[in-house]
Structure 1
Amino acid sequence: MTGKVTANDIFDKIRTRVRCKDIMPGETLPPVRELAASLRINKNTVANAYKKLIDAGIAEANGRKGTTVRQLSNFPPQEGPHPDTVLTDISGGNPDPSMLLPLQTFLSAVNTTPRLYGESVINPGLEKFGQHWFAPVVPEQFGLTLTHGTVDTLERLLSGFINKDEQVAVEDPCFLGSKSTLLSLGVKPVAISMDNQGIRPEELRNALSSGAQGVIITARAHNPTGFSLSSRRAAEIREILAQYPQVMIIIDDHFSLISCREYHNVIPDSSRYWAVIRSFSKFLGPDFRMALVASDQDTSLRLKHRLASGTHWVSHLLQDIAEAALTSQQSSQQFNTARQHYRDKREFFIRELNKHGLSYCEDGDGINVWLSFAFPCEPVIDGMKNRGWIIRNGNDFSVGNHRSGIRLTLTTLSEEQITKLAADLAVIIRQVE
């Protein structure tokens, strides 16, 4: 570089070299002082350039280790099974397809009249359903928004309220969608550990007193643990949050209609910014990218601006199907069937584990079972793979300390398969302990 070198010049040069693979992922960039001295410029100019590289996702800061070119492998894992495997894959986190509402039954409900720019972004019938659905559990005078699913909602809420490098308190282990969204936005997660009643209140208090500007809490059937907030724990959390009315509170109630647990409110009356997200993925299917969001009026207005006609509204064709499915006479029966189905899977698995002297599961709900260990989980995962099983490493969900545990998705397993799974786990765990 010749002449007066700016931060943009340095940014462009390094970006080009990374794209041309002159600098490879994982390589450490020159120290700020060293590069500034070689270019005969102020070190702040180099620091600003490195900050731009980090903001663009090209590099990442590693403290005393310096600034390195980001590796794609550093992006968090996603949900879903391994493709083209002959092993029994229980890592994917998917619902049982047979427990979803049969959408083909409701295709005739699609209104073929074209919906045009400027029309209401949410079907009146679906809006009425949402109002009745949320009214008993959220503060009065709430706004209702329809989004493209939980992760879409998280991205819109966080990017609208939380600045890059600000802190958000999240459960640890953490829902993969929340983890990847925080990373992509450059928001710093503050890990709050959990027990079988939900997040630990004192850790939440510490995170908020240290400056966290938001908190994401799963109301029921937490993914991956299956834990749900108890009434007592919800009251403790609500009392803490009341002291921080400026903090954005985001509640993920993804299992809502098919949960075995009651919904317990954690949003205090004093809270200014809050949102409760209920997606349709667990009862209409993951491909049904849709969620209803109840929130305070200011948050609702911001979301609606982002989803207004002419920009990103949810297709009315999908809304037609969702409305018909959710308001049909058979929906309640199907939800009860799904609720019992998942409960039976979990309880049968726990009984089979108990037969082998193992008892790791506590008060679960949802489609997953979480087993935590006092020893590294990798030998268990490798041992189970040798016996024909693919299992999700609990560290995938970690946002704080290494998380030794495994998540099992039992949704489509037969009783014979669950019996074999428990027996294989017992053998491997005793070998590893």
Structure 2
Amino acid sequence: MAIDADGPIPESLKQALTKQPVAFIYEPCANSRSGTNMTPERRDLIADVLRDTRVLIIEDDGLGDLALRPYAGLGALLPSQTVLVRSYSKSHGPDLRLAVVGGPAEPMERARLYRQFGAGWTSRTLQNALAWMLTSDAVRAQVQRARTEYAKRRTQMAELLADRGVVVESHDDGLGLWVPVLNEQQALLVLASHGVAAGGASGGAIRSGHRQSIRLAIGKQLERPDEVADLYAMASRAL
């Protein structure tokens, strides 16, 4: 389904609904592909499209408290259709491996029963640790600092790439930038030859005709950002 800077495009969603899907899975906040956040205005339009349908809405909130803008999800407008999955692994530590799931009773019970068939379980120690962190003023301040730091890194790398003639598609939010390239495979080979591992957009693209691009992660502080920008700029022109 197509998206733009404001979120999912209503007309594209309407077209997708003609195929009678059972679920609509999307990222309302810090889209992992575009870095954009759905606006309240677009949320209202999307809600109008999904209202009075039997489609289950699944909101994937992977960035959680690290997102820059307020969360504009469909749960407040369509509570009987919406399941929210919010991860705390990025904001509070990857070792937690925890997410909170909320929604109407029927899909919640289905998820609980399905989980019982496997060996999966969630540590009570980690649950208690997260509960404490979510109510700690010191932790909230630390997450705020992290949010600000990630924003600085995104802006810095976007500006360094722009200085080299490479304009990223979006750098509103998230822990990475998508750098447009002429040839994804060759771009990844160029980076690999210099010891840099990256991912390409084609690995996660479902629709054909996507713009070729490679990911530049900003989750870790780059020691030599200028050199990284040089490499990505060189890779973007590889044929």
What is the TM-score when the length of structure 1 is the normalising length? 0.51
2:202 matches 1:395: yes
Cα pair distance change 1:230/1:391, threshold 3 Å: same
CA contact (8 A) 2:198 2:214 kept: yes
CA distance in structure 2 between the partners assigned to 1:213 and 1:219 by the alignment: 19
Cα pair distance change 1:363/1:196, threshold 3 Å: farther
- AA aligned to 2:30 is A
Match of 1:293 among 75, 81, 101: 101
CA distance in structure 1 between the partners assigned to 2:179 and 2:46 by the alignment: 25
Matched with 1:377 is 184
Q: CA deviation at 1:364?
A: 2.4
CA contact (8 A) 2:35 2:172 kept: yes
- Kindly report which structure 2 residues correspond to 1:35-54, keeping only aligned pairs within 5 A, or say none: none
Q: CA deviation at 1:305?
A: 4.4
Matched with 2:140 is 332
Matched with 1:276 is 84
2:145 matches 1:345: no
Structure (1 or 2) with the larger CA radius of gyration: 1
CA distance in structure 1 between the partners assigned to 2:58 and 2:209 by the alignment: 25
* Deviation readout 1:98-124 (Å, 9 max, x if unpaired): xxxxxxxxxxxxxxxxxxxxxxxxxxx
Three-state SS of the structure 2 residue aligned to 1:407 is: strand
Q: CA deviation at 1:423?
A: 1.7
CA distance in structure 2 between the partners assigned to 1:296 and 1:229 by the alignment: 22
CA distance in structure 2 between the partners assigned to 1:306 and 1:378 by the alignment: 39
2:9 matches 1:193: no
What is the TM-score when the length of structure 2 is the normalising length? 0.88
Q: CA deviation at 1:363?
A: 4.2
* Deviation readout 1:10-53 (Å, 9 max, x if unpaired): xxxxxxxxxxxxxxxxxxxxxxxxxxxxxxxxxxxxxxxxxxxx
Cα pair distance change 1:379/1:319, threshold 3 Å: same
CA distance in structure 2 between the partners assigned to 1:281 and 1:221 by the alignment: 15
- AA aligned to 1:195 is D
Matched with 1:429 is 236
CA distance in structure 2 between the partners assigned to 1:323 and 1:269 by the alignment: 27
- AA aligned to 2:197 is I
Cα pair distance change 1:384/1:312, threshold 3 Å: closer
CA contact (8 A) 1:241 1:268 kept: no
2:43 matches 1:234: yes
Cα pair distance change 1:298/1:337, threshold 3 Å: same
- AA aligned to 1:295 is G
Q: CA deviation at 1:267?
A: 4.0
Q: CA deviation at 1:331?
A: 1.2
- AA aligned to 1:219 is P
Cα pair distance change 1:268/1:207, threshold 3 Å: farther
Cα pair distance change 1:265/1:320, threshold 3 Å: closer
CA distance in structure 2 between the partners assigned to 1:193 and 1:339 by the alignment: 27
CA contact (8 A) 2:167 2:180 kept: no
2:64 matches 1:256: yes
Cα pair distance change 1:317/1:425, threshold 3 Å: closer
Three-state SS of the structure 1 residue aligned to 2:102 is: strand
- Provide structure 1 residue ranges, at least 5 long, that are not aligned to the other structure: 1-191
* Deviation readout 1:232-251 (Å, 9 max, x if unpaired): 2222211111141x111000
* Deviation readout 1:321-375 (Å, 9 max, x if unpaired): 22222222211111111101111110000111121122123242111111234x3
Q: CA deviation at 1:258?
A: 1.3
Three-state SS of the structure 2 residue aligned to 1:390 is: coil
Three-state SS of the structure 2 residue aligned to 1:370 is: strand
Cα pair distance change 1:431/1:293, threshold 3 Å: closer
- Number of aligned residues: 236
- AA aligned to 1:283 is S
Q: CA deviation at 1:210?
A: 1.9
CA distance in structure 2 between the partners assigned to 1:258 and 1:269 by the alignment: 24
- AA aligned to 1:292 is V
CA contact (8 A) 2:67 2:173 kept: yes
CA contact (8 A) 2:158 2:171 kept: no
CA contact (8 A) 1:239 1:268 kept: no
2:226 matches 1:419: yes
Query: Percent of aligned pairs with the same residue?
Result: 24
- AA aligned to 1:361 is E
- Kindly report which structure 2 residues correspond to 1:176-187, keeping only aligned pairs within 5 A, or say none: none
Q: Larger relative contact order (C-alpha < 8 A, sep ≥ 6)? A: 1
| CA-based RMSD | 2.3
Cα pair distance change 1:215/1:342, threshold 3 Å: same
* Deviation readout 1:290-328 (Å, 9 max, x if unpaired): 1111201332333344567xx865222222222222222
